[in-house]
Amino acid sequence: MIMQIWELRSFSNEDWITFLYFFNLLILVGMHQSQKRQFQKFVRFFQLEYYFANYGVESSLKLFQPFYIGSFLLLLSGYGLWAYSILEAFNFNPNPDHFYYGVGIVGFLFVIRFVFIRLLLPFFKDKDLISHALYRSFTYNTAIAIIALAFLLLYRFWLRDPIMLWTISYVLIAVWLILQVIAIRFFLRFRAASFFYLIFYLCTFRIGPWLWLYEILLTGSL
């Protein structure tokens, strides 16, 4: 009887995550309905070069389409739930409010970064190449977020083993680093002389927002 009550309470604590997965499922369905061919090419994660060949140039300037808004929401959800699960594993006892607050802050930083990049791009000589490199990075991050959501679904509702969580985390971090290096190499392969612009981008739009996030978390205010 006690075990049944404990299992019921445990399930209740996961209700908001169940809703989150249902919301993500609706996003995937919406992405498929809005751009069926693009969605089918996108979910072939091991053949993303074919995806970039078809959509990497023209779509890099159309990120406000429903397909990319859905991708952005999946990105926030995947990385947010991943971070939430890790905090749980470290016994920080996070609650849903922490998840929504963290996702909101990170989403805000991403939007601000995107606006700054759009404002600064016209001043760069290689703006089309930079835009395509950023599009690659965005696509890679979205793909990793979807994969993370799939693994976390197994972790949270089937095999609640910390070893599984750490294994998933290490693999995803390794894949993320490799893909980011590929995105940077793509940029340098065509414009090795634009190394200055690459350093400027990394410092301003990659490192800067996370330092700001750290300041927010440290002070507890915007």
Query: Can you give the pLDDT at residue 146?
Result: 94
In this structure, what DSSP letter does residue 124 have? S
pLDDT, position 143: 93
pLDDT in the model for residue 69: 92
Strands (E), 30-73: none
Q: At how many degrees (to 10) do helices 127-157 and 15-34 cross?
A: 140
Mean pLDDT by 10 residues, the chain (222 residues): 42 75 95 92 88 73 81 94 89 86 85 78 73 83 93 86 86 87 70 56 55 54 49
Q: What residue spans define the domains of the chain?
A: 16-219
Closest CA to 138 of 55, 34, 47, 37: 55
Confidence at residue 5, expressed as pLDDT on a 0 to 100 scale: 40
